[in-house]
Amino acid sequence: MRVLIDECVDPRGKNLFPGHIIATVHDRGWDALEDAGLLAAAQSDFDVLLTIDRGIEFQQNIARLRIGIVIAHVSKNQLIHYRVIEKELLAAIDQTRPGLAHIGRSRSHLGLL
């Protein structure tokens, strides 16, 4: 899979996805793009966007996109917190389709992250 890591995600998260083609928004020079422009650009080159932006599903028309969006629910934007849900993230990336997936939500709501 071709995975784009949003600028709000710890960029060291690139190391969590062996066997996948990974880039960050910064790597692509897309730092200045707002969500709509970013998603439009990303869907041409990527299969999935990894983000922690929980508002994206309410601010964008996800149903129109050809890219999958994985929202990681972590208590802090640090690599160690992504490692807690690493297996679920990998599974979501591997099974991605256009649409939306929330990963780690039940743990974060229980205060386990």
Domain that holds residue 13: 2-109
Residue 88 reports pLDDT greater than 80: yes
Q: What is the pTM of this model?
A: 0.89
Provide mean pLDDT across the span 83-90: 95
- The number of distinct structural domains making up the chain is 1
Tell me how far apart the alpha carbons of residues 39 and 108 are, in angstroms, rounded to a whole number: 26
The per-residue pLDDT for range 1-58, each reduced to its tens digit, is 999 999 999 999 999 999 999 999 999 999 999 999 999 999 999 999 999 999 998 9
Where does the chain show beta strands of DSSP type E?
2-5, 21-24, 48-51, 68-72, 99-103
Residue 90 reports pLDDT greater than 90: yes
Provide mean pLDDT across the span 68-92: 95
Other C-beta atoms closer than 10 Å to the C-beta of 15 total 11
